[in-house]
């Protein structure tokens, strides 16, 4: 049996396994912050088209869960998996050299690469996480969208063209050009693997929880299935297959998001003013905001009243309560993208610097359009589902877009249309995860195979066959480790891992990339100091930040919420028809307090030592300062003398290999 037959047989076997397990839905453990923890019934539905935009209860599923219809979902999954596996079979024939494997021979056009970058960047965290955050916290969720979009201005102006011209396959190629290559490549590889692992773990857990929730597939089987497909894409197809999978996924994701956003706007009569008025006047949103800890503090301080709750949903500060937090988050997002290894790697796939710039512009247009759509989805979910209903299905709100698809699809075209739209978005989310993890695995395996094995262990003396074999073996190993880590992290709060990946990239990778390209005196000591200090500082600060779960804080917030509700009951502020729900909510909050009181964080802390959710405002300067000080303390004449050659290369592209047509 050939490799391509093995791939096809494996994908079909996975699909059959999915169908077999579809009838045995298991309730996922409740893990606050994880990508899809199932806890309770589906959310209330949307109002009729002509009625005022106040959420009304929808019919609950028999088992009280949001669940896709396997008869609709499985065929759509098969179609998408079949299409992507056909791409792998085709790509495997094109992949003969190390250049083919790592960079698709440099033959990807600017437009194709732009779509692939967008596909690489628009992860499940973007699609599910941001729309969910907006549905629960309003404006603050939107800030994530803005940060990720603006990030590509940094990429366009600073790193795209120079990296494409000066590098070859990896981050280590750029950093080692005028430094001592072995230690620099080793440290760069460790940094690349660290960032990729953090990001990969969040994506793998998201995939497992998503499949467990929507198809009833056992978590471990879902993780193994995703892992096998991911390894198949990378090991056999290399960068060519990964690129086309990302392009297909980006097109599907934009289609699904656009269709659902159109439905949201039709519900508001295509009138933006009515859309925002629907948010401000929605009773469910008002009730949700009134129980948020930050709004309770504002009411206690006399800075807000209950009448302000709806408007407050459209203002900053419900999630990112500290202005420094917003600045720090913005710094990490804007600067972190330019240091993400799997994004930097994409610039080596185009034939010219002009194509590199074009690919960034195309990606910015696609990503910008996508984040506008996620904003509509987030606010639309808050209006038509209610934040309370969204949190019943998933504490972090990550199922908001899926719930919205089922609800609005059902209202526009009946139950089958709701199932069809939900199934399509499930399949797209699955393809999204596959595309992103494939890019991450490729970046990590390239760092190990190209930087460590070929250039450190073999001292650059490895023929093309040996390089490709090493790349495929390391891709397989990285993929297997991804499966193991994904299974081990099932019950962990992995929400902070995405923030951690960007923090490490902005604090460790970006300073050394920028200074390697533009500072004549920069040398080996600067690279090592910047990478090590920036990485350690960012990881250390995140581990003692509010990103971690602090049980006593959870208990305190629950106590504040039920105390406020008890006061409202005592003062007869609760409507008779809402009394039963209010009493049930008070009981739930008391149980939540009892469950969490006295617990400690993963680091054994009662409360955060570092108060910001993102460490960028501290760790990024640490990375730059460490790199600058080490460079000045240990000057290198060789590094200065080689700067002119690097300067010519990064501005002209001299020395780059010629492209291969695809």
pLDDT in tens, 361-378: 999 899 889 988 999 999
pLDDT over 70 (residue 25): no
Return the structure tokens found at 444. Answer: 């990590």
Mean pLDDT along residues 550-571: 85
pLDDT of residue 135: 92
Kindly report the length of the chain.
Answer: 662
Per-residue pLDDT at 629: 96
Q: For residue 652, is pLDDT > 80? A: no
In a domain, 307, yes or no: yes
Residues 456-464 have a mean pLDDT of 81
Give the count of domains, the chain. 1
Residue 256: is its pLDDT beyond 80?
yes
- 563 in a structural domain: no
Return the pLDDT at 569: 85
The CA distance from 94 to 236, in Å, is: 10
Residue 105: pLDDT over 70: yes
Segment (H or E) for 90? helix 70-94
- Categorize the per-residue pLDDT at 18 as very low, low, confident or very high, splitting at 50, 70 and 90: very low
Predicted confidence band of residue 530 (pLDDT cuts 50, 70, 90): very high
Q: Percentage of the chain surpassing pLDDT 90?
A: 16
Asked, for residue 497, whether it belongs to a domain, the answer is: yes
pLDDT band at residue 655 using 50, 70 and 90 as cut-offs? low
Mean pLDDT (the chain, rounded): 80
CA distance linking residue 29 with residue 491, whole number of Å: 7
The answer as to whether 67 is a domain residue is no
In the predicted structure, residue 574 carries a pLDDT above the cut 50 = yes
Which residues are bridge partners to 56 per DSSP? 45
Contacts of range 285-290, beta carbons closer than 8 Å, 24 or more positions apart: 285/309, 285/310, 285/313, 285/382, 285/383, 285/386, 285/387, 286/310, 287/388, 288/136, 288/386, 288/387, 288/388, 289/313, 289/318, 290/564
Compute φ and ψ for 56, nearest 5 degrees.
-125, 150
What's the CA angle centered on 369, arms 367 and 373, to 5 degrees? 110
Q: What burial class does residue 271 get, using C-beta atoms within 10 Å of its C-beta: 0-12 exposed, 13-18 middle, 19+ buried?
A: exposed
**What proportion of the chain, given as a percentage, has pLDDT over 70?**
87
pLDDT at 626: 95
Q: What is the DSSP string of 270-333?
A: T-HHHHHHHHHT-HHHHHHHHTSHHHHHHHHTTS--GGGHHHHTTSS-SS--SHHHHHHHHHHH
Is residue 588 in a domain? no
495 domain residue, yes or no: yes
- Which of 147, 359, 362, 330 lies closest to 254, judged by CA? 362
Confidence of residue 279 (pLDDT cuts 50, 70, 90): very high
d(CA 216, CA 203): 19
For helices 551-570 and 293-300, what crossing angle results, to 10°?
A: 50
Domain around 463: 94-550+600-652
Find the CATH number of the domain harbouring 103: 1.20.1730.10
Identify the residue with better confidence: 12 or 375.
375
Let me know: does 493 contact 549? Beta carbons within 8 Å. yes
Say whether pLDDT at 266 is over 90.
yes
Taking every pair of Cα atoms in the chain, the longest distance, rounded to a whole number of angstroms, is: 81
Q: Which pLDDT does position 338 carry in this prediction?
A: 82
pLDDT at 494 over 70: no
Residue 358 lies in a domain: yes
The single residue listed with the structure tokens 């990375």 is: 623
Residue 166's pLDDT band, with cuts at 50, 70 and 90, is confident
Say if 25 falls within a structural domain: no
Give the sign of the dihedral formed by CA 80, CA 82, CA 83, CA 89. Answer: positive
Q: Is the predicted pLDDT of residue 469 greater than 80, yes or no? A: yes
Q: How far is CA 470 from CA 102, 215, 541, 608, in A?
A: 12, 36, 35, 43
**pLDDT exceeds 60 at position 598:** yes
Q: What is d(CA 222, CA 228) in angstroms, rounded to the nearest whole number?
A: 10
Q: 11 pLDDT band (50/70/90 cuts)?
A: very low
């Amino acid at each position: 049996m050939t490799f391509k037959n093995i791939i096809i047989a494996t994908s079909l076997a996975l699909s059959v396994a999915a169908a077999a397990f579809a009838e045995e839905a298991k309730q996922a453990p409740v893990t606050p912050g994880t990508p899809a923890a199932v806890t309770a019934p589906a959310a209330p539905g949307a109002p009729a088209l002509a009625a005022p935009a106040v959420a009304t209860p929808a019919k609950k599923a028999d088992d009280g869960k949001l669940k896709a219809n396997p008869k609709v979902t499985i065929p759509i999954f098969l179609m998408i998996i079949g299409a992507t596996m056909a791409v792998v079979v085709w790509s495997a024939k094109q992949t003969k050299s190390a250049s083919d494997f790592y960079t698709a021979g440099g033959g990807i056009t600017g437009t194709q690469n732009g779509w692939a970058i967008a596909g690489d960047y628009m992860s499940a965290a973007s699609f599910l996480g941001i729309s969910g955050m907006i549905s629960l916290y309003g404006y603050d969720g939107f800030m994530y969208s803005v940060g990720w979009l603006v990030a590509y201005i940094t990429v366009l102006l600073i790193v795209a063209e120079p990296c494409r011209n000066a590098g070859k396959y990896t981050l280590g190629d750029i950093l080692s050009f005028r430094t001592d290559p072995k230690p620099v490549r080793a440290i760069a590889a460790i940094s690349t693997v660290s960032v990729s692992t953090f990001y990969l773990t969040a994506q793998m857990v998201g995939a497992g929880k998503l499949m467990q929730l929507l198809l009833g597939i056992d978590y471990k089987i879902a993780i193994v299935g995703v892992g096998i497909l991911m390894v198949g894409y990378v090991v056999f197809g290399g960068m060519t297959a990964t690129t086309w999978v990302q392009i297909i996924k980006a097109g599907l994701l934009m289609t699904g998001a656009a269709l659902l956003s159109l439905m949201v706007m039709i519900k508001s009569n295509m009138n933006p003013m009515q859309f925002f008025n629907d948010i401000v006047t929605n009773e469910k949103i008002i009730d949700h905001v009134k129980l948020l800890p930050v709004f309770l503090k504002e009411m206690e301080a006399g800075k807000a009243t209950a009448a302000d709750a709806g408007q407050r949903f459209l203002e900053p500060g419900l999630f990112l309560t500290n202005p420094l937090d917003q600045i720090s988050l913005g710094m990490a997002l804007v600067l972190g993208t330019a240091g993400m290894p799997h994004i930097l790697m994409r610039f080596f796939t185009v034939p010219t610097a002009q194509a590199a710039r074009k690919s960034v512009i195309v990606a910015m247009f696609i990503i910008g359009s996508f984040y506008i759509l996620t904003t509509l989805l987030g606010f639309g979910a808050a209006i038509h589902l209610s934040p309370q209903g969204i949190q019943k299905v998933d504490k972090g709100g990550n199922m908001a877009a899926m719930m919205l698809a089922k609800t609005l699809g059902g209202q526009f075209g009946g139950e089958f249309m709701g199932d069809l739209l939900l199934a399509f978005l499930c399949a797209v989310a699955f393809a999204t995860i596959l595309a992103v993890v494939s890019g991450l695995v490729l970046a990590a395996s390239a760092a190990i195979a190209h930087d460590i094995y070929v250039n450190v262990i073999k001292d650059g003396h490895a023929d093309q066959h040996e390089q490709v074999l090493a790349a495929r073996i390391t891709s397989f190993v990285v993929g297997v480790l991804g499966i193991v880590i994904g299974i081990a992290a099932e019950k962990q709060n992995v929400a902070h891992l995405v923030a951690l990946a960007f923090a490490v990239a902005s604090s460790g990778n970006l300073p050394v990339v920028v200074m390697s390209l533009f500072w004549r005196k920069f040398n080996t000591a600067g690279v090592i100091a910047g990478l090590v200090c920036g990485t350690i500082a960012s990881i250390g600060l995140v581990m003692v930040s509010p990103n971690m779960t602090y049980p006593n804080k959870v208990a305190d917030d629950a106590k504040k919420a039920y105390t406020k509700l008890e006061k409202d009951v005592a003062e007869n502020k609760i409507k008779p028809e809402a009394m039963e729900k209010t009493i049930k909510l008070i009981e739930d909050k008391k149980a939540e307090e009892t469950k969490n009181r006295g617990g400690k964080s993963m680091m054994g802390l009662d409360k955060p030592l570092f108060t910001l959710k993102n460490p960028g405002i501290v760790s990024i300067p640490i990375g730059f300062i460490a790199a600058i000080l080490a460079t000045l303390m240990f000057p290198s004449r060789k590094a200065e003398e080689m700067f002119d050659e690097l300067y010519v290369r990064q501005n002209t592209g001299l020395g780059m290999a010629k492209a291969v047509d695809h």
